[in-house]
A and B are shown apart, each in its own frame.
Chain A
Amino acid sequence: MQPAIEAGGLVKRFGEKTAVAGIDFQVGSGEIFGFLGPNGAGKTTTINMLTGLARPDAGTIRIGGLDCTGNPKAAQHITGVVPDESNLYPELTGFENLCFCGALYGMRRSEREARAKELVEFFGIAEAAGRKFAACSKGMKRAVTIAASIMHRPPILFLDEPTTGIDVSAARQIRRFISGLREAGTTIFLTTHYIEEAERLCDRIAFIVSGRIVRTDSVTSLLQMVQGREVMDFALASGAVGLCERVATAFPQLQCQVMPGEIIRITSSAGRLRAGEIVRYLEDHGGQLLEARRVQNSLEEVFVRITGIEAGVMKNEKAGRGS
Chain B
Amino acid sequence: MKNLTAFWNILLKDMRTYYLKPPNISWGIIFPLAWTAMFFIKSGAGRESLCDVLPGVVALSVLFGTTSLLSVTVTFEKRNRSFERLLLAPVPLNVLLLAKTGGAILFGAINAAVPLLMAVVITDLPDMSWGVVAATVLLIAVSSTFMGLFIAVSVSEVFEAQTFSNFFRFPMVFLCGLFFPVARLPALLKPVAYLLPLTYGADALHAEIRGAGTIPVWASLAALALFCAALFAVSLHQVKRKWIA
Q: A: which residues have CB within 8 A of B?
A: 51-55, 72-73, 76-77, 79, 81, 83, 85, 87-92, 100-101, 103-108, 148
A residues near B10, Cβ cutoff 8 Å: 103-104
Contact A76 B90 (CB under 8 A): yes
The 7 closest A-B pairs by CB, nearest first: A106-B2, A103-B9, A104-B89, A76-B90, A87-B81, A77-B90, A106-B5
With a cutoff of 8 Å between Cβ atoms, the chain A residues found around residue B92 in the complex are 73
Q: Is the CB of B244 within 8 A of A107?
A: no
Contact call A103/B6, Cβ cutoff below 8 A: yes
Contacts of B81 in A (CB 8 A): 83, 85, 87
Docked-complex contact A92 and B13, CB < 8 angstroms: yes
**A100:B13 contact, CB within 8 angstroms:** yes
| A104 neighbours in B (Cβ, 8 Å) | 6, 9-10, 85-86, 89, 91
A88 x B85 contact (CB < 8 A): yes
Instruction: Tally chain B residues at the interface, Cβ within 8 Å.
Output: 25
Give chain B residues whose Cβ lies under 8 Å from the Cβ of A83. 81, 84
Give the residues in chain B near A51, CB-CB below 8 Å: 88
Contact residue among B9, B80, B84, B91 (Cβ-Cβ distance under 8 Å from A53)? B84
Q: When the two chains form the complex, which single residue of A53, A77, A92, A106 contacts B87, counting CB atoms closer than 8 Å? A: A53
> How far, in angstroms, from A72 to B13 measured CA to CA in the complex?
25
Smallest Cβ-Cβ distance to B92: which chain A residue:
A73
Complex CA–CA separation, A94 to B56 (angstroms): 44
Interface residues of chain B: helix, strand, loop or mixed (majority): helix
Closest residue of chain B to A149, judged by CB?
B88
B 97-127 to A, binary, CB cutoff 8 A, 1 in contact else 0: 0000000000000000000000000000000
CB of B1 closer than 8 Å to a CB of A: yes
On chain A, the residues within 8 Å of B13 by CB distance are 89, 92, 100
Q: Which one of B1, B3, B85 has the highest number of Cβ atoms from chain A below 10 Å of its Cβ? A: B85
Given contacts A91-B17, A92-B13, A100-B13, contact A53 B88 (CB under 8 A): yes
CB-CB < 8 A to A105: which residues of B?
Answer: 2, 6, 89-90
Residues of B within 8 A of A (CB): 1-3, 5-6, 8-10, 13, 17, 80-82, 84-93, 244-245
A73 to B89, CA, bound (A): 8
Q: When the two chains form their complex, are residues B17 and A108 in contact, meaning their CB atoms are under 8 A apart? A: no
Task: Tell me the complex Cα distance, A73–B6, Å.
Answer: 15
Bound Cα distance from A53 to B2, whole angstroms: 21
Q: State the CA gap A88–B9 with chains docked (Å).
A: 15
User: Given the complex, which residues of A lie within 8 Å of B82, measured CB to CB?
Assistant: 87-90
Provide the bound-state CA to CA distance between A55 and B10, in Å.
Answer: 25
Q: Which of A52, A81, A108 contacts B244 (CB 8 A)?
A: A52
Contacts A/B (CB < 8 Å), 5 sampled: A76-B90, A83-B84, A105-B6, A105-B90, A108-B5
Question: Does A52 contact B85, Cβ atoms closer than 8 Å?
Answer: no
Contact A90 B80, beta carbon cutoff 8 Å: yes
Q: Taking the nearest CB of chain B, how far is it from the CB of A76, in angstroms?
A: 4
Task: Report the separation of the CA atoms of residues A148 and B88 in the bound assembly, to the nearest whole angstrom.
Answer: 12
For B91, the chain A residues whose CB sits under 8 A away are 104
Once the chains are docked, how many angstroms separate the CA of A79 from the CA of B244? 17
Whole-angstrom distance between the Cβ of B139 and the nearest chain A Cβ: 29
Contact in complex: A100, B9 (CB < 8 Å)? yes
Best-surrounded residue of B1, B3, B17, B93 (most CB of chain A within 10 A): B17
Of the candidates A52, A54, A101, A106, the one whose C-beta lies within 8 Å of that of B3 is: A106
Are A73 and B90 interface neighbours, CB within 8 A?
A: yes
Q: Across the interface, do B244 and A103 meet the contact criterion of CB distance under 8 Å?
A: no
Chain A residues in 8 Å Cβ range of B3: 106
- Whether the pair A107, B84 counts as a contact (CB closer than 8 A) is no
Chain B residue with minimal CB distance to A73? B90
